[in-house]
Chain A
Amino acid sequence: MPKRASIIGVGATKFGNVLETPELKNKTFQEILAEAAFEAMDDAGISPDEVDGFIVGNMLSHTSQIYSHSTSLADWLGLRFKGGFHFDTACSTTNTGLGIAWQMVMSGKHKNVLVVAGEFTSSAPKGINPLEREAIDASTLWEWTDFGVDHVYAYHHFYDVASAYGAFPTIGYMKKNNLSFEDMDRAMCAVNQSVRRHSAVNPKAILYEKGTLEDEAKREGFNSVEDYWQSVKNPFFAWPTRLFSALNVADGATAIIVSSEPEKYSRKTPVDIIGFHWTTSNFPWYGEDPTDFPQDKIAFEEAYKMAGIKPEVLDYLYVHDCMQIYQLILPEVAGYIPKGESWKYALNGEFLFNAKKPLNVSGGRHGAGHAFEASAGFETYEIVKQMRGEAEGRQIDPLPRIAAQHNHGYGMHTAVTIFQNGKNKL
């Protein structure tokens, strides 16, 4: 039986808006998935003929206009007659896909598995014409997205994701650590500065062209980032969470190739998947303490156990940051940062790629953008580039040996995967 499951190729489209962004404009759902998949195959140096299984993620059928994804995509991906299926854990999908691919190749049944996903969040086909799309407003997007939460009870009791997933965990973090609102607001501004510092050097990020938060503050005519942060340009999404602390929705696709024989196909550094775990919970996700999602603690512990590591050996961590408060909460849950200390790390700039504890250096769901089921793949893409030394402009030095990736899938599925640099193992 195979002894390893390694990532040998990654691909990602630009994250943007298919109605406007030059790299995406006029492309169909099938075409953006093919673009990401072909980049991954070229990166791995393999042909579609050598891919013997593929799994496809996509959440919003309202916008992709697809149900039977694998059959709709097989020919577009060059995978006719290969085995494929659609799978779905919402925004953690491509992270979950790594564990599925691990099991497919470690069973010996498959040698090379393609994990591919895509999402359109900004527009939907006009009528049923796939070539003519019209923009959708935020309220409609969230009505569709909220099918991901409990619709028997929660949604009809005035369900408010901005409060339940953003504001309450933020209030909980303030209370737990005796922080004033002003302290918390400064910390959240620092988190966003880090997010924007990273997206400003990631050409595939949705906010790449907009530069750093400092650049934007100047352009908007503010004397300081703090003034800009506290201005009407950044209202409370739900107090104490401001708009800039939330995700930016995006269109895009990502792809990953997992192989049981990495060195047969590629000379690039293989990235071994050495642990993973998934957990689920329906709403409510927490009790009196909104910073404590039991499912996250379990997922990290079990993934570490499978990998045979302790969190102290992590050189890099990505945590799902649809709301940036999770850049403070989850590093503490993961054991990457001591309890109650993340806010200080953020204020001191210690989450930057070139600092003590690099975190979310792609720009995350605000800076890189959130193309729901493709997003976790964007973070795996980042980890592979970082371990190979290919993350130009934001390269972690020395190259990470061990990394962890956490994603939430609305709501709420947790996927945690642990990666090891195949050429510089622990």
Chain B
Amino acid sequence: MEPIAKKWYDHLAEGKIMATKCKDCGAYTFPPLTVCRECRSRNLEWVEISGEAQLIMFSSTILPAKKFASLAPISYGLVKLKEGPCFFTKIEGVKCSNAEEIRKENESLPAPVRAEIKNVLGMNIVVFRK
């Protein structure tokens, strides 16, 4: 079995956001795992995703994970990819410095967002921009 997580992060370093598509049931798994998350099949192919998604909701905590504490406030959202899976990550382009801002922004959701690759504290990750 080839390394999967390293391959996914290596793709990000090359500017590509990948998922796996199940050759049996057609479902996408994002980010890739060893099996299809829907039907458990190992019969998978790697595909580049469109980057298009809907932001379903977001918020921001007063106790961020220790790794990211220096970057607070952080808007953290639930997005649904055009390809189907849901994903959680930082949302760019929304205001989150107080409760009223978060409330107002949430009232206008769902809204389209687009994936971006960002280097955060030495790691390439996927964020979404409204």
Name A residues whose Cβ lies closer than 8 Å to a Cβ of B: 138-140, 142-143, 146, 152-164, 167-168, 171-172, 181, 235-241, 243, 283-284, 286-288, 290
Residues of A within 8 A of B89 (CB): 157-158
User: Closest residue of chain A to B99, judged by CB?
Assistant: A239
9 A-B residue pairs with Cβ-Cβ distance under 8 Å, sorted by A, are A139-B66, A139-B69, A154-B88, A157-B125, A157-B126, A163-B60, A236-B99, A237-B63, A284-B88
Q: How many B residues are at the interface, by size bracket?
A: 20 to 34
Chain A residues in 8 Å Cβ range of B86: 284, 286-288
Asked whether A158 lies within 8 Å of B65 as measured between CB atoms, the reply is yes
Q: Does B44 contact A (CB under 8 A)?
A: no
A153 to B18 CA separation, bound complex (whole angstroms): 13
* Nearest CB in chain A: distance from B29 CB, A: 11
**B64 adjacent to chain A (CB < 8 Å):** yes
The reply to whether B87 and A239 form a contact with Cβ atoms under 8 Å apart is no
B57 contacts partner chain A, Cβ-Cβ < 8 Å: yes
Do A172 and B57 contact each other (CB < 8 Å), given the known contacts A157-B90, A158-B89, A240-B103? yes
B56→A288 contact, CB < 8 A: yes
Contact, CB under 8 Å: A146 / B65: yes
Closest Cβ–Cβ distance, residue A41 to chain B (whole Å): 39
Rounded to whole angstroms, the CA-CA distance of A139 and B63 in the bound complex is 7
Instruction: Select B66's contact among A142, A162, A290, beta carbons within 8 Å.
Output: A142
Question: For residue A290, which residue of chain B has the nearest CB?
Answer: B78
7 additional A-B residue pairs with CB within 8 Å, beyond A167-B59, A241-B59: A158-B120, A159-B65, A160-B64, A235-B62, A239-B59, A240-B99, A243-B62
Q: How far is the CA of A58 from the CA of B87 in the complex (A)?
A: 30
B120 surroundings in chain A (CB, below 8 A): 156, 158
**B65→A288 contact, CB < 8 A:** no
Residues of B within 8 A of A163 (CB): 58-61, 76
A1 to B5, CA, bound (A): 48
A158 to B121, CA, bound (A): 11
Interface string of B84-110 (1 = CB under 8 A from A): 001111100000000100110010000
| Interface residue B25 (Cβ < 8 Å from any Cβ of A) | no
Which of B57, B68, B80 is the one whose CB lies under 8 Å from A168? B57
With beta carbons under 8 angstroms apart, the residue of A160, A240, A287 that contacts B61 is A160
Task: Considering the complex, give the chain A residue whose CB is closest to the CB of B30.
Answer: A153
User: In the complex, are the beta carbons of A164 and B88 less than 8 A apart?
Assistant: yes
Contact present for A162 and B61 (CB under 8 Å): yes
A-contact 0/1 string along B36-77, CB 8 Å cutoff: 000000000000000000001111111111111100001010
